[in-house]
Chains A and B, each alone.
Chain A
Amino acid sequence: MSPSLRKNLFIAFLVAPAFVILIGVVVYPFVYNVVLSFSNMNLRHIRDWEIVGLRNYVKVFTEPSQPDFYVIFIKTVVWTVVNLFFHVVIGVFLALVLNQKEIRGKGIFRTVLVLPWAVPQLIVALTWRGMFNYEYGSINQIMTRLGLPAVEWLRGPTEAFIAVIITNVWLGFPFMMVIALGALQSIPHDLYEAADIDGASWYHKLRNITIPLIKPVMVPAITLGTIWTFNNLNIIWLVSNAGEPSDSTHILVSFVYKAAFNFYRYGYGAALSMVIFFILLAFSLVFMRRTKAADAVY
């Protein structure tokens, strides 16, 4: 056996288990989902389903549902953009603060700030739900003590949507903070010293050194964050109690969950999840290309 063949065989041997698992847990379910999306699988046709063409896809875009697909889509975009904006701004800001040499007890601050990320989402969601209660929730109690009017967080559609966003912002910023902190610590300090010699202000250092150098790390993190937030079923489902009030806090993924698992519309749910997949795929490709995330910095 030639050395190169042995080398390739060994590589194949090492990769094989991961490859088999990948086929089992990613490729097969994905292909199955694609097939289902063209089928009429539902409560009445769960074993005898058949391919019905594009019918489910047509329904996704045209079926008069309540709430409407386009309304949910816009809400999903708002949900994702607002969440990501705050995740990144708060995360990077805290990372910049924690990266200062002068700060004492960094370890404690870091641990405390990572806590939201470490607590199980279920507990976070249910705790926030309690905190948003009109009469007994701590948020309204604090607001009224400050002289602000109490808000019916979980009763009004807009307020409930803001409530789920607040919860998810709290839950999501530690991830961005940890990533940004790692990136900041990898920036060579002599770049800042050189900038100091040139008389650069903190803003110029931020704009010309910090941001460009953390970008290669932050762009993939933001892409991941977008996909996670876009698909974050747990928070919506638990804080707003499955889309309450009146199905007004749904995002696409909670809507799919409801269609597939509450109404047994598996074919329709599969088609809708394919639409979500293509939206996220298109976003990721465009975002990565526009931000040149894969390009070298140095």
Chain B
Amino acid sequence: MRYGLPIRPLFLLLAAAVSLSGCGGPKDDRVRITIWHQDRPDVRDVLQKQLDRFMALHPEVKVEQLFKETEELRSGFIIAAIAGQGPEIVYGPSDQVGPFQVMDIILPLDSLFDRTFLDQFTPKALTYYKGRLYKIADKMGNHLTLVYNKKLVPVPPRTEAELVAMGKALTKDTNGDGKVDQYGLTWNYTEPFFFIPFMTGFGGWIMDEEDRPTLNTAGTVNGLKFIKALRDEHRIIPNEADYNIADALFKDGHAGMIINGDWSWAGYQKAGLDIGVAPLPKITSTGLWCGTMVSPKGFSINANITEEKKRWAVELIRYLTSEENQMEATRTLFTMPTNRNVIRSGFVQNNEILRNSQIQIDNGQPMPVVPELRAIWDAMRPSYQAVLAGSRSPEQAATDMQLQALQRIREMNE
């Protein structure tokens, strides 16, 4: 058998492949900027319109948006940026800032944007960490509210007692088969993020000013007891509900109220529901509103960016956070803007949903940006779920949450 012969054709083939690879059309020498985000399809559509307009204004730049699921975005950006790669701009809620800053993979922005530009935003839109600015937000929120189906709930409850009473009236077996067909309230109650309003309503919070966990408190215990009672005693929420189940129940008219975030409203309206948005109720015994975590959503710049691209990234962030673009997003998506003029505008001030959204934002607390937050979520989840499964008492769960959080933070920071 001869092996020598085929070498020449193989080389020719390779050479042809290499030379042909350059024949894919005219060379695109535009500056490429990529944005990674974790936004839903309707937000992506608005963003794309704005990017198209930006590219029309600046033909020398090509901007691409790339959707990544929240966790994938975080871990993917870390891996890429540590290796000196990654998108030029990363967009998302403010809790990314802590870990990204500690890993030195995002740039401080205070030297890139002038004071006049920054002053047009409400202070909560600018995420500072260790004294430097790392994120400029175009949307406020990521916050939970009480969304209600106006057909079933003409006036939303203002206190937890009203919530329970209304829930009882709404929860019914409509076809008489012995199973509940309509619940008063539903939400993704297995996830600790959705537990925060009840924790704060009963006077608790997750960490102190020095970022130490504060989970073993009466606020946690009473919040846990309240949710358990909603399910087991008052029976106004489904026996089991994750995000998708709760969402589907509400969309199909099988639940009068849902606790969900600002990201969900447009979807419910699109599904043909006549919804109202109200602040989460006040807990009578403490006199406190159920406050949620509030997070600005905005833009950070990859620390690996080149000087040329940095100039364009700054220009792009200026453009995307501008008054007209924020107004467009607010009108289309019902998200809370961060630009002072847009907040003061008639549209925001007169829109019932946005007005109530603002009240909920005011009732809430800023989401901590420190990396320790992740350890706290993870410490809360098992104990919280154990309470719901009936295998742990709320008191024991609060103690375990605290111990676990301390251990996880120690492990993370060693």
Contact = CB atoms under 8 A, between A and B. Distances in A.
Interface string B67-101: 00001000100100010000000000000000100
Top 10 nearest A-B pairs (CB, nearest first) are: A246-B382, A134-B240, A245-B385, A10-B3, A261-B75, A7-B3, A246-B385, A46-B103, A246-B386, A247-B382
A193 to B, nearest CB: 40
Given A13-B7, A43-B413, A66-B382, 16 more contacts: A6-B3, A40-B414, A43-B103, A43-B412, A44-B414, A130-B245, A152-B389, A155-B388, A157-B389, A244-B190, A245-B382, A245-B386, A246-B389, A262-B378, A263-B411, A265-B412
Contacts of A47: 82, 103-104
A45 to B, nearest CB: 9
B390 to A, nearest CB: 9
B239 to A, nearest CB: 5
Nearest to A155: B389
Interface of B: 3-4, 6-7, 10, 71, 75, 78, 82, 99, 102-104, 179-180, 190, 238-240, 242, 244-245, 371, 374-375, 378, 381-383, 385-386, 388-389, 391, 404, 407-408, 411-414
A63 to B, nearest CB: 8
A126 B391 CA distance: 26
A134 B3 contact: no
Contacts of A42: 412, 414
A264 B412 contact: yes
Contacts of B239: 134-135, 152
A150 to B, nearest CB: 9
Contacts of A43: 99, 102-103, 371, 412-413
B114 to A, nearest CB: 31
Given A66-B382, A245-B389, A263 B375 contact: yes
Given A44-B413, A154-B240, A244-B190, A264 B383 contact: no
Nearest to A153: B240
Contact of B240 (A63, A152, A248): A152
A165 to B, nearest CB: 19
Contacts of B10: 13
A130 B242 CA distance: 9
A124 B179 CA distance: 28
A264 to B, nearest CB: 6
A78 B179 CA distance: 36
B389 A44 contact: no
Interface range, A side: 35 or more
B383 A246 contact: yes
B7 A244 contact: no
A40 B371 CA distance: 18
Contacts of A116: none
B385 A244 contact: yes
Contacts of A10: 3-4, 6-7
B389 A135 contact: no
Secondary structure class of chain B's binding surface, majority of residues: helix
15 contacts: A6-B4, A10-B3, A10-B6, A13-B7, A43-B102, A43-B371, A43-B413, A44-B414, A46-B103, A133-B240, A155-B389, A246-B383, A262-B374, A263-B408, A263-B411
Contacts of B78: 264
Contacts of B71: 261
A155 B240 contact: yes
A11 B382 contact: no
A126 B69 CA distance: 15
A136 interface: yes
Interface in A235-255: 241, 244-248
A156 interface: yes
B413 A156 contact: no
B5 to A, nearest CB: 9
B380 to A, nearest CB: 11
A254 to B, nearest CB: 13
Nearest to A242: B381
A13 B5 CA distance: 13
Interface in A57-82: 63-64, 66
Interface in A17-60: 40, 42-44, 46-47
Nearest to B382: A246
A263 B378 contact: yes
A66 B404 contact: yes
Nearest to B249: A136
Contact of A11 (B3, B82, B180): B3
Contacts of B411: 63, 263, 265, 268
Nearest to A7: B3
Contacts of A258: 378
B273 to A, nearest CB: 19
B7 A133 contact: no
Contact of A135 (B102, B179, B381): B179
Contacts of A245: 190, 382, 385-386, 388-389
Contacts of A156: 389
A242 to B, nearest CB: 9
Nearest to B76: A261
Contacts of B412: 42-44, 263-265
A263 to B, nearest CB: 5
A49 to B, nearest CB: 11
Contacts of A66: 382, 404
Contacts of B375: 263
Nearest to A244: B385
A6 B411 CA distance: 58
A148 to B, nearest CB: 16
A154 B408 CA distance: 25
B18 to A, nearest CB: 14
Interface in A120-137: 126, 129-130, 133-136
Contacts of A64: 407
Nearest to B374: A262
Contacts of A152: 239-240, 389
Given A10-B3, A42-B412, A264 B99 contact: yes
